[in-house]
């Protein structure tokens, strides 16, 4: 199992995994246009991988991506009297079904956590599904309820 940052050569697999992840948890989306989604996601991933803002960690076996975690680096506004470090937004955490409950996702998350420390991120935020809360807790994350949201109408 190789854990590494994604590259342009991985885009097609990442698009398919995003589609599969969505359909797995919301079957109502299976009749949407894959072609339209693929075009939009292709543009997002090409820009993201080249931006220095998005970092996509993958676990691959025999050149097949079996798990991934997307990290967006968010720069904070500097404040006098302290060094300003970015924080990370974690999203699109997914392991294909046949590799679940085998420690693969935890290995990817462990690599991400190490990278986060090495790159001096201040903290990581993630919105876990109810089913994923224990996965994050066992990997050092603390469940909190301090977030507020605004939904423009």
What pLDDT does 114 receive? 96
Query: How is residue 146 written in tokens?
Result: 């301090």
Tell me phi and psi for residue 5, to 5 degrees. -80, 145
Instruction: Give the integer Cα–Cα distance in Å for 19 and 102.
Output: 22
- Residue environment code for 99-112, b if the CB has 16+ CB neighbours within 10 A, otherwise e: beeeebbeebbebb
Give the bridge partners for 60, in sequence order. Answer: 2, 65
Detail the DSSP E strand segments found in the chain: 2-5, 54-61, 64-74, 87-95, 124-126
- The full set of domains in the chain, from first to last, is 2-138 (3.40.630.30)
Would the pLDDT of 129 be above 80? yes
**Overall pTM > 0.85:** yes
Give the bridge partners for 56, in sequence order. Answer: 70
What pLDDT does 147 receive? 77
Q: What is the mean pLDDT of residues 87-92?
A: 95
């Amino acid at each position: 199992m190789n854990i590494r940052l994604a590259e342009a050569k991985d885009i097609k697999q990442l698009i398919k995994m995003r589609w599969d992840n969505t359909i797995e948890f919301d079957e109502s989306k299976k009749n949407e246009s894959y072609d339209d989604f693929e075009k939009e996601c292709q543009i997002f991933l090409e820009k993201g991988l080249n931006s220095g803002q998005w970092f996509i960690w993958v676990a691959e076996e025999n050149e097949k991506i079996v798990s991934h975690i997307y990290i967006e680096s968010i720069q904070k506004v500097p404040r006098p009297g302290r060094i300003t470090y970015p924080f990370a937004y974690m999203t699109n955490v997914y392991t294909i079904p046949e590799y679940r409950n085998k420690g693969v996702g935890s290995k990817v998350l462990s690599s991400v956590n190490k990278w986060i420390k090495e790159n001096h991120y201040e903290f990581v935020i993630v919105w876990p599904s109810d089913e994923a809360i224990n996965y994050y807790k066992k990997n050092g994350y603390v469940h909190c309820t301090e977030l507020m949201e605004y939904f423009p109408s």
